Structure 1
Amino acid sequence: MAKKMMVRVDDRLIHGQVLTQWVSTINAQKIVVIDDEISKDKMRKNILKFAAPDDIKISILSAERAVEVWNKNKFGNFNVFVLFRDVNMIRKCKDLGLVFLDISLGQMSIIDDRKQIYRQLGLSEAEAQTLLDLEKEGLNIYFQMIPTDKKESLEMIKKVFPNVA
């Protein structure tokens, strides 16, 4: 079972800020990326593995495989940093039975139909609704760009998308 664990959404996945600031908050020995698309793409998997230092174990799993691994050994006997690229994978994992109670939201590029919610974080109305639904289901989800920032509630979503509840 994971000794310590932190879960974060950041569409950049493994990058400088994650490695220099977030991973050190729990002295992570392992990073688990959960993403159906990337788990099937050998080139993208290799790029992510190359981005991390040699002393950090990297696993890139589909949602289904993440549930299997979790049910088997809770991601192993490591301090684990779990990364998602988007909120839809969190929803899928929860629906499959893998539930993370605390989730930090970082950068999600403000592209397509996404509107700026918090600093460099954009959400579509559907993504906003997904997050609020997950929060109603008992997950503690908050905005936090870097570890020294104050954790911000999801309330600001309602200012940008007044129709979500």
Structure 2
Amino acid sequence: MGKIGLVRVDSRLLHGQVVTRWIGQVGAKEVIIIDDTLAKDEFMIEVFEMAAPAGVKLIVKSVAEAKEFLDAKNLEKSIILFKGIPSLLDGIAHDLPLEEIQIGGIGGGAGRVVVFKNITLTKEEYEQLKKLEADGKHIFLQTVPEEREVKLTNIANKF
């Protein structure tokens, strides 16, 4: 399988910043959304397919389907999207080969703290990300390519 172009957690999934900035940055030919709920919603899949730029294929897989699918592919020109930290953790629990994980936009809500620009986390999510980092994953926050990566240690004071 090899290197993955980009693994991103973003509650909006395929949206303006991903389409206009990240696809070009990666040179992506496909966007793979791994989400159990979306994988069952044909209408929303069609909506996301319409949002994908010309020449970029949209693929939606459930977490259970994802490992076999990803293992068979060259992912260097792929963006893998997760809607939230819980689905990311589920993917890792299913042995998805994710080593570098970008935390992008995650909207607000009860118990959530703004940690960087439009990225919010709960204390529990922050602790889970720290554990992934301790296990050897490269975890960083970044909303657009022009910004420098923000390390988890840089947001520790938010909790």
Normalised by the length of structure 1, the TM-score is: 0.89
Conserved? CA contact 1:4–1:26, under 8 Å: no
Alpha-carbon distance between aligned partners in 1 of 2:151 and 2:140, rounded to the nearest angstrom: 5
Conserved? CA contact 1:6–1:82, under 8 Å: yes
> The residue matched to 1:7 in structure 2 has which SS?
strand
Q: C-alpha displacement at 1:15, in angstroms?
A: 1.0
Deviations 1:103-139 (A, max 9, x none): 1111100112211111111011221121111111111
1:117 aligned to which of 108, 115, 118: 115
Residue 51 of structure 1 corresponds to: 51
Normalised by the length of structure 2, the TM-score is: 0.92
Deviations 1:24-78 (A, max 9, x none): 112100000011111111222111111112311111111111112123x13x476
Residue 90 of structure 1 corresponds to: 88
User: Which is worse superposed, 149-158 or 60-69?
Assistant: 149-158
Conserved? CA contact 2:130–2:152, under 8 Å: yes
Alpha-carbon distance between aligned partners in 1 of 2:4 and 2:98, rounded to the nearest angstrom: 12
Residue 18 of structure 1 corresponds to: 18
Moved over 4 A (4+): none
**Identity rate of aligned residues, in percent?**
29
Residue 135 of structure 2 corresponds to: 137
Aligned residues: 159
Is 1:33 matched with 2:51?
A: no
Which 5+ residue runs of structure 2 have no aligned equivalent? none
Alpha-carbon distance between aligned partners in 2 of 1:155 and 1:49, rounded to the nearest angstrom: 36
In structure 2, relative to structure 1, the CA distance for the partners of 1:81 and 1:28 (3 Å cut) is same
> The residue matched to 1:155 in structure 2 has which SS?
helix
Equivalent position amino acid for 1:83 in 2 = L
Alpha-carbon distance between aligned partners in 1 of 2:76 and 2:157, rounded to the nearest angstrom: 39
Which 5+ residue runs of structure 1 have no aligned equivalent? none
Equivalent position amino acid for 2:132 in 1 = L
The CA RMSD measured in Å over matched residues stands at: 1.6
Equivalent position amino acid for 1:144 in 2 = Q
In structure 2, relative to structure 1, the CA distance for the partners of 1:79 and 1:23 (3 Å cut) is same
Equivalent position amino acid for 1:50 in 2 = M
Equivalent position amino acid for 2:29 in 1 = Q
> The residue matched to 1:110 in structure 2 has which SS?
coil
In structure 2, relative to structure 1, the CA distance for the partners of 1:138 and 1:23 (3 Å cut) is same
> The residue matched to 2:152 in structure 1 has which SS?
coil
Alpha-carbon distance between aligned partners in 2 of 1:94 and 1:5, rounded to the nearest angstrom: 17
